[in-house]
Structure 1
Amino acid sequence: MAIPAYYSLIQRGSTGPDVALVQTWLNGLRDTCTWYHELTTDGRFGTKSVNAVKEFQLKNDMNVDGKVGANTWNVLYTKYTAKHGLHVPYPGIVLRQGSSGGTVRLVQQKLNALGEKLSTDGKYGASTAAAVERYQRRNGLTADGTVGKATWEKMF
């Protein structure tokens, strides 16, 4: 399983599936020494998410800015997989047309490995939705062109 490639800086006000994945990773890394409460996996990067990232950065001797750049993204993924295994968890929100980010690119790469010819640009457009529908039909899933929990778990 490949790491979802870092896509763009996540900071206060960011939204989308990559934010939800970061929230999932942070929740999966909580332990008895964690100060922050479990985050709501809603894909919205607000004060609680910023503070959770700051704590993670502090514990891991990183630059503490509360933002998720490439380095924080990669360290989060490495720590999460060390604890939970090499598995990318469902981001927690449905991927659909208009979504973008590393999670979308990961879906595009997976579909291409299965014979599709998508641009792996991390932008969920009509061609990605059509490829997802084809995948869903082949795998006995509801063919709605969106990647929810069932489609994600079958794919990964």
Structure 2
Amino acid sequence: MKWRKTAVTLGLVGALSVPAVGVSTAAVLEPTAAQATAAATCWRASFFGYYCGYDTSNAYASRGDSGAKVKELQALLIFWGFSVGSSGIDGQFGSGTESAVKRYQSSEGISADGIVGPTTWSHLRAFPS
């Protein structure tokens, strides 16, 4: 993987503005072609990990949920290379997002139950070592 010192822009929509509260744009992974399909910007927020501009909470998320936390989840999954389905970042936790969550959880060696709790959020937001 390549490293560069900047924010990572994912998508054709353009970069969202970076909030002024403690956001670091230090070394971030350069997106792959698959990751570039997301209409979001993800960057390293030094105070808690990767952030994509939708939601800073780590609230539980599961199938049927909707809103900003689901958009954040979908953007992070796409950032890490997991397709959430043809709708992309739509804020709807449907079958495509659930499948992506389970694949991500399996790849990280955590329980692949499709429910995004503290452990899954922690992995999604973690910086690579």
TM bin, normalised by shorter chain, reads 0.5 to 0.7
Distance 1:35 1:9, change over 3 A: closer
Which protein is bigger by CA-based radius of gyration?
A: 1
Higher helix share: 1
| Structure 2 residue corresponding to 1:70, chosen from 118, 123, 127 | 118
Instruction: State the TM-score, normalized to the length of structure 1.
Output: 0.44
Any idea what SS the aligned residue of 2:89 has?
A: coil
Q: Give CA deviations for 1:91-126 in whole Å, capped at 9, x if unaligned.
A: xxxxxxxxxxxxxxxxxxxxxxxxxxxxxxxxxxxx
Structure 1: runs of 5 or more not aligned: 84-156
Instruction: State the TM-score, normalized to the length of structure 2.
Output: 0.53
**Aligned pair 1:24/2:75, yes or no?**
yes
The amino acid across from 1:44 in the alignment is: Q
Q: Give CA deviations for 1:110-155 in whole Å, capped at 9, x if unaligned.
A: xxxxxxxxxxxxxxxxxxxxxxxxxxxxxxxxxxxxxxxxxxxxxx
Whether the aligned pair in 2 keeps the contact of 1:19 and 1:45 (CA below 8 Å) is: yes
Task: Name the counterpart of 2:107.
Answer: 59
Matches within 5 A, 1:1-156: 1=45, 2-3=47-48, 4-6=56-58, 8-30=59-81, 40-78=88-126, 81-82=127-128
Whether the aligned pair in 2 keeps the contact of 1:23 and 1:39 (CA below 8 Å) is: no
Cα RMSD of the aligned pairs, angstroms, is 2.3
Q: Give CA deviations for 1:12-42 in whole Å, capped at 9, x if unaligned.
A: 0011111101100110111xxx676566101
Higher strand share: 2
How many residue pairs match? The answer is 77
Distance 1:58 1:38, change over 3 A: farther
Structure 2: runs of 5 or more not aligned: 1-44, 49-55
